[in-house]
Amino acid sequence: MQNEVVPVTVKGVMPTANGCAVFLGNDDKTFVIYVDHSVGNAIQMTLDGVKKERPLTHDLIGSLLLGLGVRLDHIVINDVTNGTFFARILLQMENELGKKIIEIDARPSDSTVLALQQKRPIFVARKVLDAVEDMTEILERVLKQQSDEAAKSEEEDEDEANDEDEDKT
């Protein structure tokens, strides 16, 4: 089926020299979309549940949707051309005149932030998933490296604390 979509989740956000790598995938495959720092940070803050003092752009969009009585139904990363990904945001609106579905062209990065904030599903077209390189091993390697670095840093902090305690005695 040409329009088949597959559910994916954000598996990780890693800073890069020019922005952030956002790893998306399921149990079978992981792929990466490169985004600018600000959107990468917005995705990570949403994943971490960070409360912001003032609304950021994606928060504003979410508030506008809420105020207009529009619900984000889901997003679909529907195409990739020469390494550039494309997405659609599907909005649902219901009022006394009936139900309406609105489909909007958007960057996958912005779409992902909105879907995460609204706790709505993220899908990728099967043709996109089939076309992208599997980055599962790279993500696992990076996560293990981060975990090892965090453990080493924690160990060093404990050593420093012990050294300070010894100095006091």
Q: Where are the domains of the chain?
A: 5-134, 135-169
Q: Which residues contact 139 (CB under 8 A, 6 or more apart)?
A: 11, 12, 23, 25, 30
pTM: 0.82
Closest residue by Cα to residue 107 from 63, 49, 42: 42
Q: How many CB atoms lie within 10 A of CB 19?
A: 16
Axis crossing angle, helix 37-48 with helix 108-117, rounded to the nearest 10: 20
Residue-wise over 38-74: b if at least 16 C-beta within 10 A, else e?
Answer: ebbbbbbbbeeeeeeeeebebbebbeebeeeebebbb
Q: Report which DSSP code applies to 72.
A: E
Fold assignment, 5-134: Bifunctional nuclease domain (3.10.690)
Handedness of CA 67, 68, 74, 79 (dihedral sign): negative
Q: Over the chain (169 residues), what is each successive 10-residue block's mean pLDDT? A: 84 93 95 94 93 88 91 97 95 89 95 96 96 91 83 76 65
- pLDDT tens, residue by residue, 8-50: 999 999 999 999 999 999 999 999 999 999 999 999 999 999 9
